[in-house]
Structure 1
Amino acid sequence: MSTPPLYCAFGAFRLEAAEKVLYESDRPVPLTPKAVETLLALVARHGRLVTKEELLRIVWPDTFVEENNLAQNISLLRRVLGEGAGGRRLIETVPRRGYRFVGPVEERPGRLAEETAAEARSAAVAPDIAAIAVLPFADMSPGRDQDYFCEGLAEELINALTQIEGLRVAARTASFHFRGGADVREVGARLGVGTLHEGSVRKAGERLRVTVQLIETTTGYHRWSRRFDRQLDDVFAIQDEIAESVASSLRGGVLSPREKELLLRPQTGPAAYEHYLRGRQLLPRLTRADLQASAQLFERAVALDPGYGPAWAGLAMVHATLYEWFGATDDDLARAERTSERARALAPGLADAHVARGCALSLSRRYADAARAFEEAIRINPNLFDAYYYFARTSFAGGEIARSAELFGKAAQVRQEDFQSPLLQGQSLRMIGRADEALHATREGIARVERALELNPSDARALSMGSNWLFHDGQPERALEWSRRSLELHPDDPGTLVNAACLRSKLGRKEEMLEILERVFGRGWGKRDWIEHDPDYDLVRDDPRFQKLLERLK
C-alpha cells in the first residue's frame, strides 16, 4: 500500500485528508462525505487504475451498495473539479473497470488510504463539545403512551438551548431521527456534534420521573446526569434546571442573569401543557389533517388557560400555514391575525410569539409591520431559525430579493442541518446577479439535502426541493428522478406539486407544468405574492390558463 498525503493540491484545489474537506482557493467546497471519501481514495492512488470493486470496498466498507452510488459520486466530483490542463478531466474512466485520477498532484507525506478514510468517517476532527444534539426522551411510562410528552420535553430543551450564546444545537428534524439506544459515536459523526443529551420519562398519574444524561460522543464519557422525581406540575422547574445545567456544562462557567431569564418560558397547568405539547407534535407535519388536529389541541389548551401565550402562538402558526397553503380562507386569515396578536400581548418576551405575528401580518401583505415583528423576535433570540427563515420568505414575497438572500444566509448559519435556506438563498442570489455566490449556496444546499436523505430516504420535502437545485447544478436527469420519487411519496402534497411544476418550468415542459399547477392552484392553494416574484413561473406567466389559475389565489 502506498504512503499517501496528509493533503493534496491540484490546480486551484486542496484536499485535506484529516479534515475530510476539499477547498477551492481556500473556500470549502460543499460535498457529501461519501463523495469526499471517493476523492480521497482516487487521489491517494493518483496515476493508477482504481477498480470499481476497490472503491466500493474503501468507501462503503461494511455495506452493500449498488454501483450507481459510486457513479453518482464520480459525476458530482467531475462537476466540481471541472477540467484540468488541456481540457482533460481530472478523473478518467477506464471502461468496465474503474477510474484513475490523472491530474498533477502536490503531496505532503503522511497517511491516507483505507485507514485514513475510515478515521475520517469517525474521528477526523474532534467535534465541538459545545455542539449538542438533544434526542427524544425514551417513554418508560406504564402504558408507553407518552410519546408526545417525550418529544415535547426534548423540543422545549432544544428551543431553550438555542438562546445560549456559544452553543450550537442540532435541529429537531435531524436529532429526532435517532432514538431508542442510538450509538452515541454514530450520532456525533452524523450530526457533527460533540455532546449528546438523552434521557427517559416515566409518567404515572400526577407523578413524573425524568432521568437525563449528557454524553461526549467521541469518548462516551458522561459529563453530567440527574434524576428528578417530582409532581407533574413541577415539569417547568425540571426543564429550567436541565437547560441551565447542560448550558453551564458545555460552555463552562455560570450563566448570566440575562441568559437565565431567556431560558424561562411561560408556565401553565398540566392539562393545558399536555394539549400544547400534543399540538406542537403535529404542527411540523404540515398536512391539512395534521394542522387541523393541531389547531384543535391548541384551542383546548387556551380554553383551559386563556393566558398561556405559547399555545396562542402555536394556534396562530397553524392558521397562517393553513391560509398560505390550503385555500387562503378569510376565516384562517382572521384567526391568524387575532391569535397572533393575542400571543404577542400575553408573552411579549417570547420570540415565537413575534414570529407568529410576523407570519400573520405577511398574509395581508403588511410587509413593513411583519418585518418589525421578525426583527423583535431576532432581538429576543438572535439564534432563532424560524425568525430568519420566515423573515426571508416574507422579504422575497414582498420583492426585497437582496434582503431575502441575506436572511436566508443567516438562517443557514443558525441551523446547519437545514437545506431549505441555502437553496432558497441560491435562488435569491441568482436573481440579483451574484452567480458565483448562488452556485456556492446551491451546492451547500444540495450537500445538506443528501445528508438529510441519508437519515431519511423518504423525505419528500428534501427530494422535491433538492430536485430543482440539482437542475441548477447541471444534473437534470437526477433532478427528474428525485422529483418523481417525491411525487410517488406524496402525490397530493402542495409543496411537492409546486416544486414538481417549477422543475418542469426549468426543463421547458410547459404543458406538464400547467397540468401540475392545476392540481394545486386550481384548488386555491398557493402563495400568490411569492409566485409574482418567482422566475420559475416566467415560462407560463403570459399564458391565459396560468393567469386564470392565478386569479384563484389571494
Structure 2
Amino acid sequence: MAGLGTGVRASRIDLATTPDFDLGRLRVRPAHRQVCINGDCRELEPRIMQVLVALAAGRPEVVSRDRLFEECWNGRVVGDDALNRCVVALRHLAKETDPPAFVIQTVPRVGYSLEVPSATQGASPPPNSAGKTNLGAGLARKPALLLLIGLAILAATLTGIYLWRTDRISSTDQAPASIAVLPFRNLSDADPYFAQGMSDEILARLAREPQFRVAGRTSSGFFKDAADLREVGRKLDVKYVLEGSVRTQAGRVRVNAALVQVKDGMRLWSSSYDGSLDDIFAIQRQIGNAIAAALKRQLVRLPPSGPLVTRGDVYSLYLTAKGLMRTRKPSNAATAAELLRRALELDPNYAPAWSSLGKALRLAANAESDDTFLKLQQEATTHVRHALKLAPNLAEAHGALGMILGFASPEAAAHIRRAAQLNPNDGEILFWLGHVEGNAGRFDRQLAAYRRAVRIEPLLPTAIQTAAEIAREMGYRELAEQYVARGAALGPAWHHGLQGFLAYQNGDYSEAVRHWLAGAQGPGGEERYYFRGAAGSTLRMLGLPDQGRIGPNLVDPELRVIMTEPPTAETWRARTRNPVAEEVLYRPRNLVAAKLMLAKRRHLELLETYDSPAGLLGLKKGQRPRLDQLQAVPVVALALRAGGRSAEADRLLAEADSTIRAVLAQQRRTPSSLHANAAAVWALQGRHDQALTALERAVRDGWMHADQTDLPDIGDEPGFQSLRGNGRFEAIRTRISDHLARESREAAALLRT
C-alpha cells in the first residue's frame, strides 16, 4: 500500500459493478441505469438508481438515512431533500405497474424499507411476454403521463422539493412537527427548578414520539425568557413553541401551557391544568395529547408505567433535581443528589431517580479530589446499574452508564449504542454515540452522529465544537467552518471560542490564543474561564509565560510541558492499580509518564503493570488493541522488547497493524491523527518508508504533534526514535519545530499589543 486512506469503503455503491437483479416483475440494470419490463426500459438518474440498489440490497430490513447518505452520496454532506426527492421518484416509478412492483415504507426518523408485494414475487417474465399489467405496457398506453412524470422528476432534481404527493403514501410520511419546549416559568415561591424539570419531562416525552422533531433541552434553555418567538424558531429551526408556567402550593399544582406558531405568533392552543402532585403524570399526558391534536399528529408511545412512575411528592423531588442538574454546575449536582436520595427513601423502586442520582454524582465528582472522585464514580456506577435492573430499557440509564464508564470500553460502548437505539432523538446521547463511533474507527458514522446531535441541539457549544473539530480533521474544511459560524448565535464569547478551537485544529496557535483571549474578556459566564484556560495552556506549549488560569478545557497540552520527569514507583502503582480510575482519571498522565519511564530504562515496572489484571494503558496480555489504544502500542511494544519478550511485541504490533488496515479499508476519509499513530506502529515494524509516507500525509493534513500526551520533540517519541537521522523524518521534525517557533513569535507579539 503506497499510502494511507486510499481504500474504497466497502459499502459504497458502484453502479458499474452492480449485477442486474429482479424486483418482482421489474428487471433492474444498475450498470445501464435502467428498469425494464418486457423489453421496455426507463432510464433513471444515477443517484435515484443508487438509492434503489441500496434499498433493494437491504430488504427486508430498514435502511437508515445515514447509511443511504454514506452509500449513495459517498459520505458527502447533503441536505435531506436530496434523499427525499429520490424516494418520491422511486415511489412514482413503482406505481406505474399494477400491482406496484415494490413499495417503499417510511420508518419515521430512522429510514426506509423496500418491500416486494407477494403478488409480484418471482422471476421476470421473458422479454417479449404478452403480459398486460406491466411497466412497458403501462407506459406504451400512457405516453403523455410518461412525459409529465419525466418533467416532474426533472423539476424535483433542479429544485430539491416535492412537487407531488399521493394518497398511497401513508400518514406516517407526514413530516414530523418541529417544536421547541421552552423552560416553564415558576410562578410560586417554591424552588424554580421544579418548573424547569416539568418542562424537561414534557420535552423528553415529545422527543420519543416519531411524529415530532423536538429541539434539545440545552438549546431550548437559551430562551427561558424569550420575547421574540420568531427568533426562537429561526435559531432552533422549529415551527412551533410550547411555553408555560407552573404554580405549586400546599401539595397542589397548576400548569398553564400554550402552543404558538412562530411565524406569526398565533396561539394554536392554550389551557390550564389543576391537580395534586400525584396528578403530574396525567397532566403531562394531557398536554402531550393536546399538542398532538392541535398539530394533527398522533402520540404512539405508551405512557410510562411500573418503575417509571411514582407518587407526587417523590416526583416533585425528582423534577427539582433534574432542573438543578440542567445547570451542569457541580455544586448544583451535589444538591440534586441529596434531593434524589430523599426521593429514593420514599420510593426505592423509581428507576429514573436511580439513574439521575448516578449522573448527578458523576457531575459533582468533577469538583472533587482524585480520591473523592473515584469514590463518587464507583457509587454512581452502582446506582445506574440498579436503575437498569429495575427498568432494562431505560435509555437515559444506558446513556448515563456509558458516560460514567468513559465511552471507550466495550461495555461503555454497548450501553451508549443501546441508549441511542432506545432514544435516537436525544442530542446528548447522539453526542456520546459520536465518541463511541470514533473510538471504533467508524469516522463517517462519528461525524453523522455529531451532525444529528447538532441538529437536535443547535446551540449546544460542546457538540458544535466537537463536530467542527472532527469535520476539520477528516478534511471537511467548509463543513467545519459552517459549524463554527453557528457560534454567532451563542453570543460573542462562544463565537470567539469556537473560532479559536478551529484555528488550533488548523495549527494556527497564535490565532487560537487571540480568539480565546477575546472570548475570555467579553460578557459571558463560566466559558470565560474555559477560554482563558485554553489560551494559557497553548501559551505554555509555545514556551511563553502563562497568561491565564488553567480551567477545564478540551485543548489542554500542558502535560507535555509540566511533566518532564517520570513519577515515583509508588505514584505509578497508585495511578495504575484501579483500571476504571486509570482509564477515566489518569490515562493521559500515565501515557506521558510511561514514555518518560521507558526513556529512563524503567521497563520492568511497565511490564509488571502490563502483566497485572489492570493492564498497561488499557492494553492487556492476550487482548487485541482497539483503535483508541493505538497511542499506547509503541510504549508497550518497546517495553516488551526491552524485557526480552520480542515475540509478544511483534504480535502486538501485528494486531495493531491489522486494526489500522481494517479501518482504512472501510473508511473513505480518516483523521490525520490515525495516520500519525499508524506511522509509529509501522516504524517499529521496520517498515520505514511506509511509516514516513503516513507521517508526511498526517503533517500535510494539519497534524502538528501538539496533543497533550505528545513529547515536546517528535524525535523523542518512542515510536519514532528509529527514524531519527532519516532525511525525510528530519525534514518533518524541522517543519514542526519551525512552525511552533513561528507561532510562538506571533503569540508573543500578540501579547505585547
| Structure-2-length-normalised TM-score | 0.47
164 and 297 in structure 1: CA distance in 2 versus 1, 3 angstrom threshold:
same
Tell me what 2:481 maps to: 443
Q: Distance in 1 between matches of 2:380 and 2:518?
A: 34
Which residue pairs with 1:469 in the alignment? 502
Residue 290 in structure 1 maps to residue 360 in structure 2: no
Provide closer, same or farther for how the CA distance between residues 389 and 180 of structure 1 changes in structure 2, counting only shifts above 3 A: closer
SS in 1 for 2:308: coil
Is contact 1:163–1:262 with CA below 8 Å preserved after alignment?
no
Structure 2 counterpart SS, 1:285: coil
Deviation per residue, 1:225-279 (Å, 9 max, x gap): 22212112101110122123223433x24333xx234799922223322222222
Are 1:160 and 1:262, in contact at CA under 8 Å, matched by a contact in 2?
no
Mapping for residues 10-29 of structure 1, pairs under 5 Å: none
Question: Does 2:541 match 1:541?
Answer: no
Q: Secondary structure at the match of 2:382?
A: helix
Instruction: Note the C-alpha offset of 1:441.
Output: 3.4
Q: 1:219 is matched with which residue? A: 264
Matched, 1:204 2:246: no
Please show how residues 343-358 of structure 1 align to structure 2 within 5 Å. Answer: 343-358=387-402
Taking the aligned partners of 1:161 and 1:263, their CA distance within structure 2 comes to 17
For 1:502 and 1:441, locate their aligned partners in 2 and report how far apart those are by CA, in whole Å. 27
Change (3 A) 1:190 1:426: closer
**Structural mapping, 1:298-313, within 5 Å:** 298-313=340-355
Mapped partners of 1:175, 1:135: distance in 2: 5
C-alpha deviation, 1:310, in angstroms: 1.4
Query: Residue 210 of structure 2: SS of its match in structure 1?
Result: coil
The alpha-carbon distance between structure 1 residues 397 and 351, as it changes in their structure 2 partners (threshold 3 A), is same
TM-aligned CA deviation for residue 338 of structure 1? 0.2
TM-superposed CA distance for 1:171, in Å, is 2.4
Partner of 2:298: 254
Give CA-to-partner distance per residue, 1:373-432, whole Å, 9 cap, x none: 11211121111222221232355567776654343233234433334334323433454x
One-letter code aligned to 2:336? S
Aligned to 2:490: 452
Query: Residue type of the partner of 2:203?
Result: I
Matches within 5 A, 1:31-46: none
Instruction: Give, as a single letter, the amino acid of the residue that structure 2 aligns with 1:484.
Output: L
Equivalent residue number for residue 341 of structure 1: 385
Cα contact 1:136–1:151 (8 A) shared by 2: yes
Contact 1:465 1:499 in 2 (8 A): no
Normalized against structure 1, the TM-score is what? 0.62
- 1:468 maps to amino acid: F
Residue 372 of structure 1, CA deviation: 1.3
CA–CA distance in structure 1, aligned partners of residues 588 and 227 of structure 2: 41
- Does the Cα contact within 8 Å between 2:217 and 2:457 map onto a contact in 1? no
The change in CA–CA distance for 1:379 and 1:539 in structure 2 (over 3 A counts) is: closer
Distance across 1 between alignment mates of 2:547 and 2:308: 47
Q: How far is the alpha carbon of 1:290 from its aligned partner? A: 2.5
Instruction: Please give the residue correspondences for 1:81-100 in structure 2 after superposition, counting only pairs within 5 Å.
Output: none
Contact between 2:276 and 2:312, CA under 8 Å: does it hold in 1? no
Q: Which residue of 1 aligns with 2:216?
A: 171
Q: CA deviation at 1:130?
A: 1.8
Aligned residues: 405
Task: Map 1:412-431 to 2 at 5 A.
Answer: 412-431=454-473
Check conservation: 1:419, 1:448, Cα contact below 8 A: no
- Say if 2:206 is the partner of 1:161: yes
**Distance apart, 1:351 and its partner CA:** 0.9
Report the counterpart of residue 283 of structure 2 in structure 1.
238
- Give the corresponding residue for 2:432: 390
| CA distance in 1 between partners of 2:509 and 2:711 (Å) | 25
Query: Per the alignment, do residues 395 and 149 of structure 1 end up closer, same or farther by CA in structure 2, a change over 3 Å counting?
Result: same
Name the counterpart of 1:500: 535
1:520, CA displacement in angstroms?
9.8
Q: Is the 8 A contact 1:170 1:415 kept in 2?
A: yes
**Deviation, structure 1 residue 313:** 1.2
Give 3-state SS (helix, strand or coil) of 2:349's partner: coil
Task: List gaps (5 residues or longer) in structure 1.
Answer: 1-24, 29-127, 548-554
2:232 matched to which residue of 1?
A: 187
Give the Cα–Cα distance (whole angstroms) in 2 for the partners of residues 413 and 286 of structure 1.
21
Show the counterpart of 1:10.
none
What amino acid sits opposite 1:357 in the alignment? L
Work out whether residues 498 and 520 of structure 1, in 8 Å CA contact, stay in contact via their aligned partners in 2.
Answer: no
Pick one of 184, 187, 192 that aligns with 1:140.
187
| Aligned twin of 1:331 | 375
Report the alpha carbon displacement of residue 341 of structure 1 after superposing the two structures with TM: 0.1
Quote the Cα distance in structure 2 between the aligned partners of 1:377 and 1:132: 22
Find the aligned partners of 2:202 and 2:415 in 1 and give their Cα distance: 24
Shift of 1:205: 0.8
Task: Give secondary structure in 2 for the equivalent of 1:416.
Answer: coil
Are the aligned partners of 1:212 and 1:226 in contact in 2 as well (CA < 8 Å)? yes
Q: Distance in 2 between matches of 1:498 and 1:279?
A: 30
CA distance in 2, matches of 1:376, 1:238: 29
Change (3 A) 1:503 1:527: farther
Aligned residue identity for 1:350: L
The answer (yes or no) to whether the contact 1:343–1:353 under 8 Å persists in 2 is yes
Greater shift, 181-190 or 522-531, is seen at 522-531
Corresponding letter in the other structure for 2:241 = L
Q: Report the counterpart of residue 359 of structure 1 in structure 2.
A: 403
- Matched AA of 1:345: K
In 1, Cα distance between equivalents of 2:587 and 2:415: 19
Aligned to 1:480: 513
Match of 2:197 in 1: 152
**In 2, Cα distance between the equivalents of 1:440 and 1:520?**
31
Distance 2:185 2:549 in 1: 46
Tell me the secondary structure at the aligned position of residue 222 of structure 1. strand
1:283 Cα deviation after fit: 1.8
Instruction: Provide the rounded CA distance (Å) in 2 between the counterparts of 1:255 and 1:404.
Output: 30
Q: Classify 1:511/1:396 alpha carbon distance in 2 versus 1 (closer, same or farther; 3 Å).
A: farther
Query: Which of 310, 315, 328 is 1:268 aligned to?
Result: 310
Conserved in 2, the CA contact under 8 Å of 1:344 and 1:357? no
Percentage of identical aligned residues:
24
Contact 1:137 1:201 (8 Å CA) reproduced: yes
What is the DSSP-based 3-state SS (H/G/I as helix, E as strand, rest coil) of the residue aligned with 1:383?
A: coil
Which of residues 314, 317, 322 in structure 1 aligns to 2:359? 317
